Structure 1
Amino acid sequence: MDTAERDHRHARATDLLDGLADRDVVAVAITWVDHSGITRVKSVPLRRLPDAAANGVGVSPVFDAFLLDDTIVAGRHAGGPVGDLRLHPDLDRITVLAGQPGWAWTPADRHDRRGEPHPQDERALARTMTDRLAVHGFEVKAGFEVEWAVGHGGTADFRPATTGPAYGHARQVELSDYCVDLVAALAEQDVDVLQFHPEYAPGQFEVSTAPEDPVHAADTAVLVRETIRAITIRHGMRASFSPKVVAEGVGNGGHLHVSLWRDHRNLFAAQDRPHALGPDAESFAAGILRHLPALCAIGSPSVASYLRLVPSHWAGAFAAWGVENRETALRLVEGRDLEIKSYDLSANPYLVIAATLAAGLAGIVDDARLPEPAEVDPVHLADARRLPTSLTEAVRAFEDDEVLAEAFGAEFAATIADVRRGEIDRFADASPEEVARVTRWRH
C-alpha cells in the first residue's frame, strides 16, 4: 500500500467521523474470523479510525493457529510468537450497531506491515475466488441462513428460553419483544432480511438474508450473528450457534444459497431448461457436488459438525442433489438458486464462500454434468454416497482435493489441516455430551 493510498484512506475515514459521532459512536470494532470460525476483534476509539484506516491495527498472525477453545496449535506455517499483521478496516462496510449503543463495526482485511495481503487472509481469499469467476464472465450472488438457539445456562447446561413448539407462533409470542428488537436492529443496520421464524429445535430461530455480492454476504453473516448475540444478551438470554447445542438434539445449520449470473440473467432461472438449470449453472452445481467431501472440512469444520451431519435430520448428510429435497446436501430451489445444506455456523463464512466458488468454477471449466436428482430421502437409495462422518474423514478429503489445494495455496491449506487436526486431538476422548458442552457457547 503506497503513500497515496494511505493518505486517501485517512481522508475517507476522517470524513466519516462527524457522521459517526452524531450517531453517538464512541468506538469501532474491527473484526476478522479465524480458521476455527470464531469472530475475533480489535477496537479503536472513534478518533483513531483514520489512523487505523491508513496504517492498520496491529495483530499477531498467531490467530491463524487458534482453536475454538483458544488453545494454539503448533502448525507448519502458523502458531509462533513472531510476526505482525495489520487489520485494515473496510470503510465501505462500516455500520453503526443497533444492538450495542456507542459502537460501530467493520470487517477487516489482514495485510503485512508492507501493506501486502496476508497469504492466510480469509476475506481476501473469498474476494479472489469471486474475481476468478468474474474473469470468466460470471457474477455470483450469495446469502446465508443463520440458525441459533435462545436459552440460559453456563458451561454445563442449556435451558431453552421458550417452550413454544417447533415453527410455532407461540414461541414467537413468548419472545415477542426480543424478536421485534432483533428484526428492528437488523433493519436499522441495513440488513435485508428475507424471513425470520422459529425453527425445529427447542428455543431455535432462523434469519435468512437477501442475496448479495459473495464477500458482502459473508460480512453480513458476521454482522447478523453478532447482532443476534448482542440483542439476546440485552434480553438476559444467550445465543448458541453451535452445530450441536445438546448432544441428543437437532443442531444449528448455516446454509449457503448461491446463484450464478451472466449479463444480469440468473442462470438458475433458465425457463427453457429442465429444472430451470442453464448449462453453466448445472456445471457450477456439479462442481460443488463433486467436491462436497472436501468442502466439509471448510463448511462443516468442527468435531461437533459431525454430531449434526447425520441422515434423516434435514442436515444434508449425503453427497446428492434434489429439487426441493431437504435431505440432499444440495437442494435446488427451482428457478432461483442452489442451497448447500451441509454447512453449519462453526464455519468461517469467508472460507465457505471461497471454497464453494472454487469448486463451482472447476465444474464450469470441466463442463461437469449433474447425475439424476434424488427424489426421495437418499437414505433409501442403495447407491447414495454419505458425506464424511467425521472431521478426520473430511480433512483427508480436503488434503486430497487438487482444486481446493490450488485455490487455498500450500501454506493456507496446510494450516487449515493443522487447525482441524488440533480440534480432532482436543476431542479425541470426548463423549458427544462433552463435545456439545465445550462447543455450545463458542461460535
Structure 2
Amino acid sequence: DASGVEAVALALVINSGVTLVKTIPLRRFEDAVRFGIGLSPVFTVFQVDDQITSSPHIAGPTGDTRLMPDPSQTVGLVASPGWALAPVDQLDQDGEPYPGCPRTFARRMLERLAGHGLELRGCYEIEFFLGHRAAPGPDEADPTPAHTGPAYGAIALADVEPFATALIRAFEEQGTGVMQFHPEYSTGQLELSVPHSVGIAAADTDLVVRHTIRAVARNHGYAVSFAPVVFAERVGNGNHLHLSLWNRNGRNLFQGGRGPEGMTREAEAFTAGVLAALPALTAITAPSVPSYQRLQPHRWSGPWACWGRENREAALRFVTGMVGSRPDAANLEVKSMDPAANPYLALGAIVAAGIDGLERELSLPDPVQDDPASIPARKRRSLGIRQLPASLTEAIAELEKSPMLREAMGDVLFDSFLATRRAERDVFEGQDPEDVVRAHRWRY
C-alpha cells in the first residue's frame, strides 16, 4: 500500500553487519525495480568503523552494482510517516547476480532447500538497549538506560510504557505484528519477538524491525543500540534465529516424527548439519570483536556447541511448544547469534549447513539437558560438547577451515567476508574492553 509514502529507503546489510540505505522518491520506485540504483562494490569490504579493506576480488574505487528493490517485501513504516523500506538484491550492470550480495546468497540457499521439498519459516528474536545518548564525541560518556530493572520486571515496563505502547501499535498497524515484548535481563535491555515469516522474509523483517524500533525510540527521545554488548562486563544483546522446516503437505517437520524429541528424520539431519558447522558458523553469527564479550558461559548466550530441549545455554535450543500447539510451534532456536550478524549471511549459512546435514544424512547426538559448564571437562569431551570460539581470531580460523561454507557462499562473498573480519580483528582485538564497546555501541 503506497498510501502516504513519499520516499523509499533501499536497504542492504554489508559484511560488517552495518545496514546501509539509499533513498529515492516514490515516483522513482518503478524505475528502480527495473534498473536499480547504483552502489560501489567497495562497500562489500567496508568495516564497522567505515575503514575500507580489500579482498582478492574487491578493491579500489572502480565498478558498480545495482540495488534492486523487492516490491513484495517493501513495507510502509508507520513510525516514519511518508517512508517505506525496501530490501534489495545486488546485480551487476549486465543484470547478473552480484556474487558479493548477502541477500542473493540467502535466497540461493533457500532455493536449494526447496529442491529438497522443504520450506523454511522463521524469525529473528531481537534484544536491544534503550536509553539516552550522551553528546557524541571522542570522550562520549556512557548512555543512560531507560530502565535499571528488575530483570523482566513490571517496574521496568512501567518506565518504558509509552515507548512500548507506540512500538506495539506501529508493528501491528504496518502488518509486521508482535508475538511478545518484555524488559530483559541487562540494564536498559528489551526484547521483541515477531511472527514467523516464510523464507527470505525472515531476514527482510529483521531490517524492518530494527528501523521501526529506532524510529519509535527517536519519537520518544531515546536512542537504541543493537550492539552485541552495550556495557562491558554485562549481559549483551542477542538476535536469535527461530526456524522450522515445512514439507509440501504443509507439515512442520520438527514434530510428529520418530526422531529425537519428536523430530522427523529430515529435521534431525538438518539440525545435525547446523550442529556440526557451529564452530565455523560462529564467525558469521558472532562476527565482531565485542561479540565475544557476550558469547560466554552462564549468560544464556548459547556458547556451547550442543543441542537440548529448552536448554538456554546450548547453541541450539529445541523448542517443542505447549501440548496442542506443537504442529505449529515446534522450532529450532539458534542462540549463538547477536545483532552484529548480517541476517542474510546468517540465514544463508545456517541453511547451507542444514542442507549439508540433509545430504549427508547426519544424526544428532544425545540432547544435553544440563548446563554444559556444570559437566566435568572430561565428560564434556566424551560427550562431544565443546565451547564455541572464544574470540574473533578463533572463529575466523574455524571458518577458514570450512570448504562447505566457502562453496555455499562462493569465493567472492566468502573471501570478502573473511577480509572484513580479519581487518576488524586487527583493529580491535587486544584493546581495552571498554574501548571496544564504545567503538561499536552506535554502529548497529
Does TM, scored on the shorter chain, surpass 0.5? yes
The equivalent position to 1:81 in structure 2, one of 61, 73, 93, is: 61
The reply to whether residue 297 of structure 1 matches residue 283 of structure 2 is yes
* Separation in structure 2 between the aligned mates of residue 214 and residue 94 of structure 1, nearest angstrom: 15
Equivalent residue number for residue 3 of structure 1: none
Equivalent residue number for residue 269 of structure 2: 283
SS of 2:176's equivalent? coil
The reply to whether residue 379 of structure 1 matches residue 379 of structure 2 is no
Equivalent residue number for residue 112 of structure 1: 92
Amino acid at match of 2:189: Q
Unmatched tracts of structure 2, length 5 or more: 135-139, 321-325
* Separation in structure 1 between the aligned mates of residue 15 and residue 71 of structure 2, nearest angstrom: 23
* Separation in structure 1 between the aligned mates of residue 70 and residue 334 of structure 2, nearest angstrom: 28
1:300–1:347 Cα contact (<8 Å) kept: yes
* Separation in structure 2 between the aligned mates of residue 393 and residue 163 of structure 1, nearest angstrom: 34
The equivalent position to 1:254 in structure 2, one of 225, 236, 239, is: 239
| Cα shift readout 1:176-219 (whole Å, capped 9, x = no counterpart) | 11001001111122113211111111111111122222310000
Deviates more, 1:318-327 or 1:153-162: 153-162
Equivalent residue number for residue 265 of structure 1: 251
Shift of 1:156: 3.5
1:115-194 pair list within 5 angstroms: 115-154=95-134, 155-194=140-179
| Cα shift readout 1:62-91 (whole Å, capped 9, x = no counterpart) | 110111111111222223100011111111
Identity of counterpart residues, as a percentage? 47
1:1-400 pair list within 5 angstroms: 20=2, 23-154=3-134, 155-262=140-247, 263-270=249-256, 272-334=258-320, 335=326, 336-381=330-375, 382=377, 383=380, 384-400=385-401
SS of 2:404's equivalent? helix
Unmatched tracts of structure 1, length 5 or more: 1-18
SS of 1:297's equivalent? helix
SS of 2:121's equivalent? strand
Shift of 1:441: 1.0
1:99–1:227 Cα contact (<8 Å) kept: yes
Structure 1 segments (4+ residues) deviating >3 Å: 271-274
2:102–2:413 Cα contact (<8 Å) kept: no
- Alignment TM-score, normalising by the size of structure 2: 0.93
Amino acid at match of 1:30: L
Equivalent residue number for residue 16 of structure 1: none
Equivalent residue number for residue 429 of structure 2: 428
Shift of 1:101: 1.4
Equivalent residue number for residue 323 of structure 2: none
Report the number of matched residues: 423
1:63–1:79 Cα contact (<8 Å) kept: no
Amino acid at match of 2:438: R
Equivalent residue number for residue 440 of structure 2: 439
* Separation in structure 1 between the aligned mates of residue 147 and residue 392 of structure 2, nearest angstrom: 32
* Separation in structure 1 between the aligned mates of residue 158 and residue 349 of structure 2, nearest angstrom: 39
| Cα shift readout 1:128-162 (whole Å, capped 9, x = no counterpart) | 00010111111111111011010112344122012
Shift of 1:272: 4.7
Shift of 1:294: 0.5
SS of 2:179's equivalent? strand
* Separation in structure 2 between the aligned mates of residue 116 and residue 188 of structure 1, nearest angstrom: 36
* Separation in structure 1 between the aligned mates of residue 131 and residue 19 of structure 2, nearest angstrom: 21
Amino acid at match of 1:83: G
Deviates more, 1:75-84 or 1:272-281: 272-281
SS of 1:269's equivalent? coil
1:64–1:79 Cα contact (<8 Å) kept: no
* Separation in structure 2 between the aligned mates of residue 287 and residue 333 of structure 1, nearest angstrom: 18
Question: How large is the Cα RMSD of the aligned pairs?
Answer: 1.2
| Cα shift readout 1:44-76 (whole Å, capped 9, x = no counterpart) | 111111221211111111110111111111222
SS of 1:118's equivalent? coil
Shift of 1:271: 5.3
* Separation in structure 2 between the aligned mates of residue 355 and residue 271 of structure 1, nearest angstrom: 26
* Separation in structure 2 between the aligned mates of residue 395 and residue 204 of structure 1, nearest angstrom: 29
* Separation in structure 1 between the aligned mates of residue 183 and residue 199 of structure 2, nearest angstrom: 26
Shift of 1:274: 3.9
SS of 1:193's equivalent? coil
1:243–1:308 Cα contact (<8 Å) kept: yes
